[in-house]
Amino acid sequence: MAKLSSESLSGTAGPFDRFAKLARPPLEDALLQSLPPSVDRAPSLSLAMREALLSPGKRLRPLVALAAGDLVRARRPAATAVAVAVEYVHAASLVLDDLPSMDDARRRRGRPALHVTHGVATAELAAVALLARAFELVSEAPETSPATRARVTAELAGAIGAGGCCAGQAADLAADPSALTLEDLEAIHARKTGALFVAAVRGGALAGGAGERTLTALTQFARNLGLAFQITDDLLDHEGDPARMGKDTGRDAHRANFATLFGPAASRQLVEELLGAAVETLSAFGPRGGVLADLARVVRDRKS
């Protein structure tokens, strides 16, 4: 099993940190530029979209898409278009997830949730608009062939739709929260969390014309990474600091999750092993996989 970098232990920035430091400002610019112009008579929708999209976040998924694009030497404008679309989808999913009919969360990214500030209806409309805009951006992606645009569209649609986030959320709502098995939890979170990670790496790689073998390897990477991310999420929810998390914690304390299912110590061990497996998948790419491999360390050490 591959070992994770110890850079975090020494406090130095790893390859992903350096990559993120360079890639995040242009990404934020691209996000800002990608917002549609405000529409007459619906200023609240535009404002809600803007707030949902530009609220301070880690931008982990778009950065993953960019890193995957770099891995296969994608042209940066093409990968950026995919990364921005991924962030749109992620922002929409957070808005929907926070709704009273869903998780009924009050805070998100250190701020009041969108439905709290703009109302449920506007939040729902903003989420739908964000999703639509994501597909619009992919369809206009520069330096990208029509076939690639179609494939990326299909990847995002798959991550969102009946086999993706929506299915995961529906399964989550329908499940008996106290009697969730490992398989139930995996089925829910592979769709709610993992699917968009997978779409991000596959979309970024597709922007660079990646072949099926590369896509398969990256899918395996993202699946392991996504599950590790979810388990750390559960651990943070279990024992994290709400101020650092920027969202309500302990909300799921009553229900089974990975942290309660395995226990904290075993959960941390499994996170290590999942991330090790993810890094192992990248070994075929050699040094080019360094940024994504270091992402495993970021996930392991994250505090929010």
Partner 1 sequence: MLRSEPPPPKQPLRRRRLEALLRREGSTARASQRSAASQSSIVSQQSLEIALNPKEPQASAPIGLDEARQRLRELGYLSGAVERFVFRRALEGRGGLLLPAVLLGALAAAVAALAAVDAGEPGFGSSAASVCALLLHLFLADLLPASLAALAVALWADRSRAPAEAATAVGLLSFAAIFTLWIGGMWGLARAIPPRSLLWGAPVSVAALFLARSARSGFLARAYAHSRVLPARPRSRVFFAAAVAGVLVAVGIFASRGETPAVAAPHPSPRSGTVVVAAIDGLGLDGQPGPALAGMQELFGRGRTAWWPTPAGVSPPEIWTDLATGQPASRHGVRALERVRPRGSPLSLRPPFGTGWYLRRLGPRLSLVSAAPVSGRDRQSLAFWEITASAGLPSLAVGWWASGPWPGAEVVGNEEILARAADGIAADRDALVEFGRRRQDGEPVQTVYLPGLDILRNDPEKRSVELAQVRRFLEDEISRALAGPGALIVIAADSHPRSGALGRMTVFDGAGEWKMIRARSSDVAPSILARVGVPPAQDLAGQPLAALFREGSLETTTVATYGPRIAPAAPQSRQSDREYLEKLKSLGYLN
Return residues touching partner 1 (CB under 8 A): 1-2, 100-104, 173, 176-183, 186, 216-217, 220-221, 223-224, 227, 251-252, 254-256, 260-263, 266, 269-270, 273-274, 276-284
Of 39 and 284, the one with the shorter C-beta distance to partner 1 is: 284
CA distance 245 to 236: 8
Cβ 187 to partner 1 shortest distance, Å? 9
Give whole-number Cα distances, 18 to 4, 26, 295, in Å.
17, 14, 11
Question: What's the CA gap between 98 and 106, in Å, rounded?
Answer: 7
Min CB(222)–partner 1 separation in Å: 11
Pair of tokens at residue 20: 């993120």
Which CB atom, from 140 or from 273, has the smaller least distance to partner 1?
273
**Buried b vs exposed e over 28-50: b needs ≥16 C-beta within 10 Å?**
eebbeebbeeeeeeeeebbebbb
d(CA 242, CA 156): 30
Q: What are phi and psi of 107, to 5 degrees?
A: -130, 150
**Which is nearer to partner 1, 23 or 259 (by Cβ)?**
259
Q: Hey, what are 236's tokens?
A: 């943070």
Q: Of the two residues 128 and 261, which places its CB atom closer to partner 1 in the complex? A: 261
- 166 CB burial (10 A radius; 0-12, 13-18, 19+): middle
What burial class does residue 25 get, using C-beta atoms within 10 Å of its C-beta: 0-12 exposed, 13-18 middle, 19+ buried?
exposed
Between 143 and 186, name the residue whose CB sits nearer to partner 1. Answer: 186
Q: Which is nearer to partner 1, 38 or 216 (CB)?
A: 216
Closest distance between partner 1 and the C-beta of residue 69, in Å?
A: 19
DSSP state of 97: H
Shortest distance, position 227 Cβ to partner 1, whole Å: 6
CB 199 within 8 A of CB 151: no
User: 127 vs 137, which CB is nearer to partner 1?
Assistant: 127
Shortest approach of partner 1 to residue 271 CB, angstroms? 11
Least Cβ distance, residue 266 to partner 1 (angstroms): 5
Nearer to partner 1, 138 or 274 (CB): 274
Q: How far is the CB of 90 from partner 1 (least distance, A)?
A: 22
Rounded to whole angstroms, how far apart are CA atoms 197 and 178?
A: 27
Do the Cβ atoms of 231 and 224 come closer than 8 Å?
A: no
Give min distance, CB of 108 to partner 1, in A.
Answer: 16
Under a CB-based contact definition with an 8 Å cutoff, are residues 134 and 89 in contact?
Answer: yes
